[in-house]
Amino acid sequence: MTALERSAWVVVCERQDLVAGGGVCALLGNEQVALFYLPQEDCEVYALANRDPIGKANVLSRGIVGDIGGQLVVASPLYKQHFSLESGVCLEDERIRIPVYAVRLDGDSVLLAQP
């Protein structure tokens, strides 16, 4: 990766800070980003806004991840609505969609794209 490319990305933590099969939360500027680490999946790491727009609290990183009808999702720990890890769309109400962040692993570093 070139220096230029890398400058748009920020290292937020290392692989060992992640929890396999679950989530943690990182700060990106002022924004709370939920990082889900699924080592068996194509992308390995998925990043969504940490705020649950239905429960209205910053908790999505603490939800259970899994799949519903083949779609990777996290279930809100508050009221259990599912949000797609890939698109941020709420499966129970498609009109609700939470921000998704570009994320990638570079070696053992976890990088988020600066919005």
Q: Using CB under 8 A, which of 6, 17, 113, 114 touches other proteins? A: 17
Query: Of residues 6, 8, 27, 108, which one binds other proteins by CB under 8 A?
Result: 27
| 25: contact with other proteins by CB under 8 A | yes
Shortest Å distance, C-beta 8 to other proteins: 18
> Counting contacts by CB under 8 A, is residue 34 touching other proteins?
no
Print burial letters for 7-44: b (CB count within 10 Å at least 16), e (below 16): eebeebeeeeebeeebbbebebeeebbbbbbbeeeeeb
| Contact pick of 77, 87, 105, 109 for other proteins (by CB under 8 A) | 77
Cα–Cα dist 81/83, whole Å:
7
Q: Which of 45, 48, 49, 72 binds other proteins (CB under 8 A)?
A: 72
Cβ atoms 61, 34 nearer than 8 A: yes
Instruction: Record the tokens describing residue 6, joined without a space.
Output: 């890398």
Which one among 47, 48, 63, 84 touches other proteins, defined by CB under 8 A?
63
- Residue 29 sits in the site that holds other proteins (CB under 8 A): no
How far is Cα 89 from Cα 54, in angstroms, rounded to an integer?
12
Residue 6: helix, strand or coil by DSSP?
helix
Under rule CB under 8 A, how many of the chain's residues touch other proteins? 38
Asked if residue 83 binds other proteins (CB under 8 A), the reply is no
